[in-house]
């Protein structure tokens, strides 16, 4: 039976689009039950509309890097009502806390733009450039209580070119992300 996904994102949603395309063309045995954003005007919600997937905005409250506890409880209820089995973070830029981790134990995954455990945290591609790395990449991992520290499910390497800017490097990483994420979800679906 198709794996029931809830996709969470704060921004442009290119990973979400890649997943929805793979579901639509039949190469990923999953069902997108809902797309949720912490920003009411996030492009990822437009993508959900385009693909006919139910979508919701959960107002985050006043904190910047986490959801206020009441907002996180609302997120849990929203995902549970949608009967979500696996929570897929696709550019969701807030750290999840106990309400989500307890409601979906070992059932939340994230994609991160570096070869973890190297460069956790924000703008990982800039960190890799600044460190003078020759190779970076992306990682899909389970979400735990730490920052980008959960068990690694899959990685893809991406070369760093001598003339790369943060923008060119992130764009190259994102091409790899859009291949890796549906592939890892496919492995969890069997």
Per CB under 6 A, the list member of 174, 176, 182, 184 interacting with ligand GAR is: 174
Helix or strand or coil: residue 99? helix
> Is 57 designated active site?
no
Q: Which of 55, 112, 141, 170 is catalytic?
A: 112
Per CB under 6 A, the list member of 3, 35, 90, 140 interacting with ligand GAR is: 90
- Say if strands 3-8 and 30-37 run parallel, antiparallel, or are unpaired: parallel
Per CB under 6 A, the list member of 113, 137, 150, 182 interacting with ligand GAR is: 113
Spatial distance between the Cα atoms of 136 and 169, rounded to a whole number of angstroms:
9
Burial of residue 1 (CB within 10 Å: 0-12, 13-18, 19+) is exposed
Contacting range for ligand GAR; rule: CB under 6 A; set: 6-14, 62-70, 128-136, 160-168 = 6-14
Burial of residue 34 (CB within 10 Å: 0-12, 13-18, 19+) is buried
Instruction: Indicate whether 37 belongs to the interface with ligand GAR (CB under 6 A).
Output: no
Instruction: Indicate whether 8 belongs to the interface with ligand GAR (CB under 6 A).
Output: no
Residue 58 tokens, joined: 């959960």
Per CB under 6 A, the list member of 8, 15, 30, 182 interacting with ligand GAR is: 15
- Residue 87 near residue 108 (C-beta atoms within 8 A): yes
Q: Count of residues binding ligand GAR (CB under 6 A)?
A: 13
What does the binding site for ligand GAR look like in residue numbers (CB under 6 A)?
A: 9, 11-15, 90-91, 111-113, 174, 177
Catalytic sites, residue numbers: 112
């Amino acid at each position: 039976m198709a794996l029931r996904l809830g996709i969470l994102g704060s921004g442009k949603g290119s990973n979400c689009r890649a997943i929805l395309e793979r579901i639509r063309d039949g190469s990923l045995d999953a069902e997108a039950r809902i797309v949720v954003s912490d920003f009411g005007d996030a492009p990822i919600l437009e993508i959900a509309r385009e693909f006919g997937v139910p979508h919701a905005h959960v107002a985050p409250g006043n904190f910047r890097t986490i959801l206020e506890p009441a907002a996180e409880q609302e997120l849990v209820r929203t995902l549970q009502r949608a009967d979500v089995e696996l929570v897929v973070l696709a550019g969701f830029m807030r750290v999840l806390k106990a309400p989500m981790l307890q409601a979906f134990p070992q059932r939340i995954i994230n994609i991160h733009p570096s070869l973890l455990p190297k460069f956790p945290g924000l703008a990982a591609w800039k960190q890799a450039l600044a460190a003078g790395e020759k190779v970076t990449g992306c990682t899909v991992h389970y979400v735990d209580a730490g920052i980008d520290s959960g068990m690694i499910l899959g990685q893809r390497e991406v070369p760093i070119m001598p003339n790369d800017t943060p923008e060119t490097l992130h764009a190259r990483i994102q091409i790899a992300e859009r291949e890796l994420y549906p592939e890892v979800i496919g492995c969890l679906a069997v």
